Structure 1
Amino acid sequence: MSDVVIGPDGLARPSWASTDPLLRAYYDTEWGMPVRDERGLFERLSLEAFQSGLSWATILRKRPSFRAAFADFDPEVVAAFGPAEVERLMGEAGIVRNRRKIEATITNARATLGLRDEHGRPGLPDLIWSFQPERTPAPRTMQEIPTSSPESLALSRELKRRGFTFVGPTTMFALMEAVGIVDTHLLDSHRRGSSGVWPS
């Protein structure tokens, strides 16, 4: 048995990506593809934190507003946000107005800058990708997809040690799935192996 759904286009996707056009496009073009740049990873890290306790569809629909509110997730700009910017963001109807998550995003922007080396080169990509496991899951059903791993737990601990917050092991596993560090596409999905990081 497999949990894939065959769409009108003849392609197999998990049920969560089979009906909503926005989720389907995200699944087909972005989810699970490698992200290796500082800004891209800071954005994904931030959005995964905002998603905690909410549906990913909610976050995805608000993504343009998040990008506008957080200066396209430029960590240098966000790191300079202070109390006035927090209050501005709390009044921004297009995003998730959660003070702790907004403040965590600012904290994480500052921690991201703290990972840069003495020449200003980004360190966040190397740190996150250093937790890539030796093997990736091979799920046939949604129930076989883990929600955390030893690597996501280790990444969570290291990021917290470096000053990051809202980076628990489940959130970090979701990040690892989203940016291609692990491939949790179902075996029968048309996207399995599409990242190039792992064989299909």
Structure 2
Amino acid sequence: MADKIFENNQVSIIGEIVSDFQYSHEVYGEGFYMVQVSVSRLSDFVDYIPVMVSERLIDVTQNYEGQYVYVAGQFRSFNRHEERKNRLVLSVFARELELVEKQDADSASNQIYLDGYICKDTVYRKTPLGREIADLLVAVNRSYGKSDYIPCICWGRNARFASGFEVGSHVQIWGRIQSREYVKKLSDTQAEKRVAYEVSVSKIEFLD
């Protein structure tokens, strides 16, 4: 059963470590740490992806900034309570991690596969230039009755196709993880720059 759960949420990235390890939490004596990995797109734009790493996978007391790393795992979410609201926090949970040579990163690896269910009404829109976009929220089952809630964005024909999905629709998605900066308005006089993470969909299928 665990293997089946793992198969419905698969991520692999290769990129450059651009931060040190920051302590996150501990489970049954095992410490988990966050680290930022930059992954280049073919367009030369860079996505900064947060990765959660066990202290049993790598020596988290060392600084590996500037080194390249291969990570395989799952894209996970949890709700953080902030300012009387829940904020969805996303990161790649590393099941495998390996330091690699820089030339291995030239493949610009950033791949994700999800098998889950639409859990919120799809938002379909067009940009002022007429580009079609659809925003999805996909729930992916995890072990112990948990689920991860993954924001996904579709473009063009995929957006038009996804616009017809209803809540509860079973979908399979292939794409990549991307980061996006935005400004969060906190009050009439205060605003804060934040980073959102989502899956940019390259292929999507509807399952009966």
- TM class by smaller structure: under 0.3
Bigger RCO of structures 1 and 2 (CA < 8 A, at least 6 apart): 1
**More helix per residue: 1 or 2?**
1
Q: TM-score, normalised by structure 2?
A: 0.23
